[in-house]
C-alpha cells in the first residue's frame, strides 16, 4: 500500500503552496482561499496519521477543523464584504489608512 510519509510530504507541499499564495496574492478573497488551502493540508496530515496509528482521534479532529473553518469562512467573508464596501476595492494594498 501507500506509505504514510507520501501523504505527509504531499501535505507539506500543499501547506507551502498555501503560504506562497498567501504572500503573493493581492486580492483579499484569494488570500482567504489560501488560508483554506493551508487548513486542508493540515487535515490531510491528520487523517494520514490517524490511519497510520489505527486510532480515530485524528478524524474526529478533522471534523472539528472543518466546522471551525466553516464558521471562520462565514464571518471572514462578511468582514470582506464590509471592507470592500468601505474601500471600494478588493486589493489588500488599498487598505492602508494607517500607513505613514
Residue 30 binding another protein, by CB under 8 A: yes
With CB under 8 A as the contact rule, the residue among 74, 97, 98, 100 that binds another protein is 74
Burial class of residue 11 (count of CB atoms within 10 Å of its CB; 0-12, 13-18, 19+): buried
At closest approach, how far in Å is the CB of 64 from another protein? Answer: 6
By beta-carbon proximity to another protein, the closer residue of 54 and 100 is 54
Residue 42 binding another protein, by CB under 8 A: no
Cross-strand partners of 27: 91
Residue 70 binding another protein, by CB under 8 A: yes
Rounded to whole angstroms, what are the CA distances from 83 to 12, 22, 34, 42?
A: 32, 18, 19, 29
Amino acid at each position: 500500500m501507500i506509505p504514510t510519509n507520501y501523504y505527509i510530504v504531499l501535505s507539506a507541499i500543499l501547506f507551502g503552496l498555501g503560504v506562497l499564495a498567501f504572500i503573493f496574492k493581492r486580492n483579499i478573497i484569494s488570500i482567504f482561499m489560501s488560508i483554506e488551502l493551508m487548513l486542508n493540508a493540515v487535515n490531510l496530515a491528520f487523517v494520514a496519521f490517524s490511519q497510520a496509528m489505527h486510532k480515530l482521534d485524528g478524524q474526529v479532529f478533522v471534523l472539528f477543523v472543518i466546522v471551525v473553518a466553516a464558521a471562520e469562512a462565514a464571518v471572514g467573508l462578511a468582514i470582506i464584504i464590509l471592507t470592500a464596501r468601505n474601500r471600494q476595492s478588493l486589493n489588500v494594498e488599498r487598505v492602508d489608512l494607517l500607513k505613514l
